Amino acid sequence: MQRIRLCYTKRGRLRFTSHRDFQRAFERALRRAEVPMAYSAGFTPHPKVSYANAAPTGTGSEAEYLEIALTEHRDPGALRVLLDESLPSGLDVTDAVEARTPGLADRLTASVWELRLDGVPLEEAEKAVAAFLAAETVEVRRKTKNGMRTFDARGAVAALDAARPQADRPVDGPCAILRLVVRHATPAVRPDDVLSGLRAVADLAPPVPAAVTRLAQGLFDEESGTVTDPLAPDREAAPAAPSTAAGTASATAPEGPAA
């Protein structure tokens, strides 16, 4: 059985698709691309697809991951193209590698998020960020399936800063961009929890809902404060192409004098 790990996106209007909607679309894409999927046992077999840490509904993402199991060997690059062509625009498969190391989910320990706050001046956002980072704890409340829950939104935040939109992204009126690095903890701290925390410590209340996009997720490097590519270990573990230098040298070397 071959295992392939894929990175895909949720862009544009498709950021509003739920995880279940994506599952249905992806399984249709597998059938359309005629991928030789392995199936689970039992009365209702399902294709063996493992999803890892899907983004909440309504948020965009450039870094969603999943793993599929195949019954026949396929080239990851060619498979990526077939699946990308079989999915709607906005659900784009951007990378594919053969799984050569264990524990993809264990390598997703942090996420980098971008929060676009239209109608919020940069100076106001910077003051709110400073107040949030200065606090030891920032308690927020969120409704869960077990009722309202109170938890600390500050502890999971590894980095938070505010900036102006890039020059190639025109804005109409004041706008601030928050860049947020959050460790994946229990309970999970989401971007909207951080926004609730900013409202609690600095009364920051954007006039319109924030546009939230996950830019990356992977292992968090404490020394550099960066989030690393979770597929890199699989690429590094790929066997090197066999060298033909020795064979070429022996074929072209002049013969020595006869004994």
Q: Domains along the chain?
A: 2-106 (3.30.70.580), 108-227 (3.30.70)
DSSP string of 144-209?
ETTEEEEEESSTTEEEEEEEPPPTTS--SS-EEEEEEEEE--SSPPPHHHHHHHHHHHH----SSP
**The pLDDT of residue 106:** 93
Of 66, 72, 77, 81, which is closest to residue 26 (Cα–Cα)? 66
Q: Is the pLDDT of residue 247 over 90?
A: no
Mean pLDDT of all residues belonging to the chain: 90
Residue 247: both structure tokens together: 């064979």
Residues 6+ apart with CB under 8 A from 156: 182, 183, 184, 185, 189
- Amino acid found at 181: V
**The pLDDT of residue 242:** 60
Residue 179: both structure tokens together: 């860049």
**The pLDDT of residue 241:** 58
Of 93, 69, 79, 71, which is closest to residue 10 (Cα–Cα)? 93
Residue 215 CB burial class (10 angstroms; 0-12, 13-18, ≥19): middle
- Amino acid found at 106: D
Query: Which residue shows structure tokens 């959050």?
Result: 182
**pLDDT digit string, tens, across residues 59-109:** 999 999 999 999 999 999 999 999 999 999 999 999 999 999 999 999 999
**pLDDT digit string, tens, across residues 130-164:** 999 999 999 999 887 778 889 999 999 999 999 99
Q: Is the pLDDT of residue 253 over 90?
A: no
Mean pLDDT confidence for 170-190: 90
**The pLDDT of residue 143:** 82
Asked if the bond preceding 187 is cis, omega within 30° of 0, the reply is yes
Cα–Cα distance measured from residue 14 to residue 92, given in angstroms and rounded to the nearest whole number:
11
Assign 255 to helix, strand or coil.
coil
- Amino acid found at 56: P
Q: Is the pLDDT of residue 249 over 60?
A: no
